[in-house]
Every structure is written in structure tokens, then in C-alpha cells.
Amino acid sequence: MLRRGFLSLRAANSLKKPFVGWFASSRGLANQVNEAEFELSDSPLHLLDSGPPKKAVLTREDGLQYYKEMQIIRRMETAASTLYKSKIIRGFCHLYSGQEACCVGMDAAMDKNDSLITAYRCHGWTYLRGVSVKDILCELAGRKTGCSKGKGGSMHMYGYEYYGGNGIVGAQVPLGAGIALAHQYRGNGQICVALYGDGAANQGQVFETYNMAKLWNLPCIFVCENNGYGMGTSVERAAATTDYHTRGDFIPGIKVDGMDVLTVREVTKFAADHARSGKGPIVLELATYRYYGHSMSDPGTSYRSRDEVQAMRKNRDPILSLREKLLDSGLADADEIKNIEQEAKQLIEEAVKAAESDPDPPLDDLYLDVYADDNMEGHMIRGCDNWSRHATN
């Protein structure tokens, strides 16, 4: 179970009220508290003499921003589920609901010039890396206004220093190491974060990449988002050892409570400093949970009980946990929380309308984006059969 955060005496004293008793009545005093200190969840270490801090300060501004981002991602994924069931979204679709603290916490600790590559459960990361909700939902629906012009769908979204969701299980790990190698070669001080799931953690290419990354001390953070299940198999039935943070063997690792946004943020800061300082790669295991099935074709109830899912939603939900921290510490009041939720709801509703009504790409768009410059003359692109041709000029 997660340990409840507590308010620092510093924040309590700023109200000139006793710490005991003030805590219970603080929910209406948000404008008087600018920061609060919370205990972090335990983070077991591998091959590290010291680790991230045990406590962290959360400012009012950051707390409200994290809550807003998590609300938008959760509601966006709920909308995607509804659009899929309405057959507006087709093909593959892997939802991130339940794992919002992972991406929001990590993004808060990264430099915007740092690189990131993840797997196909990528909608939340796409939003945080600068793509609008409208562009994401339109891409999911295959609309021309989508972030990949409706041609990529759920698995193929990109942004600045964001190398997208990779549809090949585990392939993002060696790709991420290659991006880190480019940063090392250029000497630009940037790092790469490569995320993969507990299922992909058993891929041979992951261990091959670990070896090369440590040989060359690449500035890379390998992140296993362990949500407890592969496509339909629990981690205990799929792996002889489920201590994924130790899988790097000779690479240091940390296990992280992936349902606590503050813990994720602080551990990521520690890992980023480690990789950026020339010490080489580090492995993080984010212990998290997905509320939906592996993909939309998986109801997610044949290999786990509904009671298990409901218990996680009730007791360990990352958004509810942050909400309680904000309210109990006085960093936000109920009205502010409600306004953020209402704004997120309105944003999603407008994006859904676009996903439902924006135009599909015309057939001729099949021949675009084959070359970097679509205006190159003299190039003929074969069509969908052996007889049709399309000139690019």
C-alpha cells in the first residue's frame, strides 16, 4: 500500500497554526500554502550506494499542473475507449489509464531537449511531448488532421525529441540506446529515456542492449513499466525473476512506486543526473497497473478478477492519491480541483467532436511522405498493386 504523504512543518507554520488540527481543516486554505513536503514511497536499489531522497517538496503550481495533466490523459483514454467501441477508432489501441503517474512524473523531471522513445501504449506520452489532445484523437480515428495525418494510428505518433510509440515489442530499447549514442557522440549533454513493458523485458534484444549501453556508458535510462501483466499473463507466470530493476545485472537499478507521481519524479531526477554525469545507463522499474486490458480486443478479466481492478482503482489510483495530497496539504481547494476537472472534460469533448467529424485523408495521400521531400521530380512510386504508378511531381 502507498504511504500517505504528510505536510511539512514548514508549510504548516506558514499558516501560523498548529500542525495538529490544522491538517484536518486545511482543505479551504489553498491560497495560503505555496509548498508542502511529502514522504516518498520506498525505492529499493540495485548496485547503488545511495539513492533518491526520502522526501520531496511539491509546490502549488507544480501540483496543479500534474493534476491537470493526469486528468487530461485519463479522460483522453476514456474517450478513446468510447470511440473505439463506436468503431470510429479501428485497428490496435492500447490505453494508459492507471499509469498516468509514470509519464507525468518522469516528464516533470526531464529536460525538454532530452529524448524519449516508448512502446505502443503511448498516448499519454504523446500529449506530454507537445501534441494536442485533438491531434491525438484525430490520429486515432484516422483523420487527416491527426498528428501523423491519419496514417499512423495509435502506435505511430511523434514530437520534438519524441521518437514515438514503437509497435515492435522491445524494439524501442535498442533504438533508444542508439539515440543515446548520438547524444554521447555530439556531446550535447542530453539523455534518452527508453520505456518498455514487463512483457518486453524478456526479449533478448533488451539484454543485448544493456551490454552495449554499459560497455559504452551511454546516457540512457531504461524504464520497465511493470503493470503486472503482459498480453494476458501475470509477471509471475512469465518470468523466473520479477525484479526487473536488477535485470541489467551490472547496470544499477531502482524499483519505483509508479502510482505515486512525486516518487516517480524524484527517482527520475536521480536517474537523469546519473546518466548525464557520465556514469552510464541505469534501469528503473516502475511498478504500476493498467485498468483496461492489454489492448481494446482484450477485456482484461479472464486472467485477473474484476475485484482486483476495482481494488486498485479505489486504493492506489494515482490521480486520487495526488488529489488527496493537494487537498489535505492546502495546496489546492475543492473548487480549484473541480475547475481543473471541468476544463479537462471540456477539452476532451471538443477533441472528440473533431475525431468524429474531421475528414479522412484522400486516397492520393497514400503516396505522400514516402520521401522527405514530396516535391522531388522524376520519382515514381508503385501503388498498391504491380500495375499502378504515381508520379511525385
DSSP string, 73-100: HHHHHHHHHHHHHTTSS-S-----TT-H
Grid cell digits, residue 274: 546519473
Query: Do 200 and 251 have their domain in common?
Result: yes
Helix%, strand%, coil% for the chain, nearest 5: 45, 15, 40
Longest dimension (CA), the chain: 82
CA pair distance 220, 176, nearest whole angstrom: 7
Q: 276: closest CA among 214, 218, 206?
A: 218
Domain count, the chain: 2
pLDDT band at 102 (very low <50, low <70, confident <90, very high): very high
> Does the structure show a pLDDT above 90 at 24?
no
Write down the pTM of the prediction.
0.90
Query: Do 323 and 378 have their domain in common?
Result: no
**CA-based angle 350:312:53, to the nearest 5?**
95
C-alpha distances (whole Å) from 69 to each of 74, 101, 103, 311, 346 are 9, 10, 10, 23, 14
Distance between first and last Cα of the chain:
62
pLDDT band at 60 (very low <50, low <70, confident <90, very high): very high
Q: 271: closest CA among 317, 237, 223, 306?
A: 223
**203 within a domain of the structure (yes/no):** yes
The pLDDT of residue 366 is 82
**3 within a domain of the structure (yes/no):** no
CA pair distance 84, 156, nearest whole angstrom: 17
Average pLDDT over residues 370-379: 70
Query: Do 194 and 335 have their domain in common?
Result: yes
The pLDDT of residue 364 is 83
**CA-based angle 76:78:80, to the nearest 5?**
70
Average pLDDT over residues 309-320: 98
Q: Rounded mean pLDDT of the chain?
A: 90
- Residue 374 CB neighbours (<10 A): 13
* Side chain identity at residue 268, one-letter code: T
The pLDDT of residue 373 is 75
The pLDDT of residue 23 is 44
The pLDDT of residue 215 is 98
> Does the structure show a pLDDT above 50 at 6?
no
- Residue 174 CB neighbours (<10 A): 17
**4 within a domain of the structure (yes/no):** no
**Residue 245 is inside which H or E element, if any?**
none
pLDDT band at 3 (very low <50, low <70, confident <90, very high): very low
The pLDDT of residue 4 is 35
**213 within a domain of the structure (yes/no):** yes
The pLDDT of residue 9 is 34
CA pair distance 284, 53, nearest whole angstrom: 15
The pLDDT of residue 365 is 87
Query: Do 368 and 342 have their domain in common?
Result: no
**18 within a domain of the structure (yes/no):** no
Answer for the pair 25, 15: CB distance below 8 angstroms, yes or no.
no
CA pair distance 266, 140, nearest whole angstrom: 32
Query: Do 371 and 266 have their domain in common?
Result: no
Average pLDDT over residues 222-227: 98
Query: Do 186 and 233 have their domain in common?
Result: yes
> Does the structure show a pLDDT above 60 at 209?
yes
> Does the structure show a pLDDT above 70 at 185?
yes
CA pair distance 335, 315, nearest whole angstrom: 23
The pLDDT of residue 45 is 98
The pLDDT of residue 377 is 66
The pLDDT of residue 30 is 55
* Side chain identity at residue 295, one-letter code: S
> Does the structure show a pLDDT above 60 at 21?
no
Report the number of secondary-structure helices (H) and strands (E) in the chain: 13, 11
pLDDT band at 374 (very low <50, low <70, confident <90, very high): low
**30 within a domain of the structure (yes/no):** no
Query: Do 205 and 195 have their domain in common?
Result: yes
Range in 20-24, 304-308, 327-331, 334-338 with the lowest mean pLDDT: 20-24
Please give the torsion angle defined by the CA atoms of residues 139, 142, 148 and 152, in that order, rounded to the nearest 10 degrees: 110
**385 within a domain of the structure (yes/no):** yes
Query: Do 95 and 174 have their domain in common?
Result: yes
Query: Do 376 and 279 have their domain in common?
Result: no
CA pair distance 63, 67, nearest whole angstrom: 6
CA pair distance 285, 244, nearest whole angstrom: 6
- Residue 53 CB neighbours (<10 A): 14
The pLDDT of residue 44 is 98
Query: Do 255 and 372 have their domain in common?
Result: no
C-alpha distances (whole Å) from 327 to each of 231, 251, 324, 336 are 37, 39, 5, 10
Residue 382 domain boundaries = 363-392
Quickly list H helices, the chain. 9-14, 19-22, 60-85, 100-109, 123-128, 133-140, 172-186, 204-215, 235-238, 261-276, 306-315, 318-329, 334-357
Parallel/antiparallel/unpaired status of strands 35-39 and 55-59: antiparallel
C-alpha distances (whole Å) from 367 to each of 143, 151, 176, 361, 363 are 16, 11, 29, 11, 8
Q: Cα–chain-centroid distance for residue 302?
A: 26
pLDDT band at 367 (very low <50, low <70, confident <90, very high): confident
Residue identified by cell 492520393 is 364
pLDDT band at 2 (very low <50, low <70, confident <90, very high): very low
CA pair distance 227, 148, nearest whole angstrom: 28
Identify the CATH number of the domain in which residue 98 sits.
Answer: 3.40.50.970
> Does the structure show a pLDDT above 80 at 103?
yes
The pLDDT of residue 368 is 82
Query: Do 79 and 222 have their domain in common?
Result: yes
Query: Do 368 and 258 have their domain in common?
Result: no
Average pLDDT over residues 142-171: 96
**230 within a domain of the structure (yes/no):** yes
Range in 30-34, 49-53, 171-175, 345-349 with the lowest mean pLDDT: 30-34
Residue identified by cell 548496485 is 47
